[in-house]
Amino acid sequence: MGDARHVLLVGEGNFSFAAALSQAGAGRLTATCPECRPHAGAARSLQRLRAAGAEVCFGVDCTKLKEFFSPAERRFDRIYFNFPHCGKKSGVRKNRELLAKFFCSCAEVLAEKGEVHVALCRGQGGTPADQPMREWHNSWQVVAMGAGAGFILSDVHPFEAERIAGYECTGYRSQDKSFCVEGALNHIFTRSLPFPHPGPLICQTNLDNKCISFRVPEIFVDKINRVREGNSFVKTEVQLDCSDVLK
């Protein structure tokens, strides 16, 4: 990543991840946390960040990024959110809601070709990359949460904490109690674009041995076919079972 790129980190605890990125020349860093005061163990990381010329902001709500960073002044090329959690004994629904609001917030401040990186503990994401894979209803459904804001999952790879020099995970709201990151995954999202369909989308289904055609409302066409920007051509087959709808 070139030095001209803007990188935003949200939900930082002790800022050790941000400090590691700053030493790796990851671009122009802006590191934030939701608390108004730094974690007791963050002093060294904050010193490293400021020495590297990074911007540090406290009291930043990751679901309202536009209120803190004006899109007219700058847009971020990459946004990191490592191990998001609502805290305490929050259920999967609360954490899904957090992700959904976060993605919507990212859409307002992310560059057109930017990336959103979300690291989750083993099993939380609900994708086939999780081993073992949780039942869908018991996961955070990260792909669906991103899709709601116009993002698609472009890549998944292991979050190798041991390879990040100086990184130490902290608990909810920078609590000293850490958590297990073994098997954690980094989910990379990019903006999706509607499939360039030349006209109305017509679907067909067989009902009582009769072929029935129907027109899909335009508001649903872009949700049925989505392609990643830059693909030269993607063919998508849509198979719908509409027998219940047409009865």
Domain residue extents for the chain? 6-193, 202-246
**Encoded tokens for 170:** 């902290």
Please determine, looking at this structure, whether the domain spanning 6-193 carries the CATH number 3.40.50.150.
yes
pLDDT of residue 39: 82
Mean pLDDT of the residues in the chain: 83
pLDDT by residue (tens digit) across 97-106? 999 999 999 9
pLDDT at position 184 over 80: yes
Residues 6+ apart with CB under 8 A from 154: 115, 188, 189, 190, 228
Tell me the range of 54-63, 185-194, 223-232 where mean pLDDT is highest. 54-63
Q: How confident is the model at residue 228 (pLDDT cuts 50, 70, 90)?
A: very low
Q: How confident is the model at residue 245 (pLDDT cuts 50, 70, 90)?
A: very low
233 has pLDDT over 80: no
Share of the chain above pLDDT 90, in %: 55
Do the Cβ atoms of 236 and 216 come closer than 8 Å? no
Q: Which of 163, 53, 35, 183 is nearest to 13 (CA)?
A: 35
pLDDT (0 to 100) of residue 170: 74
Q: Residue 64 pLDDT more than 90?
A: yes
Q: What is the mean pLDDT of residues 138-148?
A: 95
pLDDT of residue 217: 76
Question: What are 150's two structure tokens?
Answer: 């116009």
Q: 201 versus 109: which is more confidently predicted? A: 109
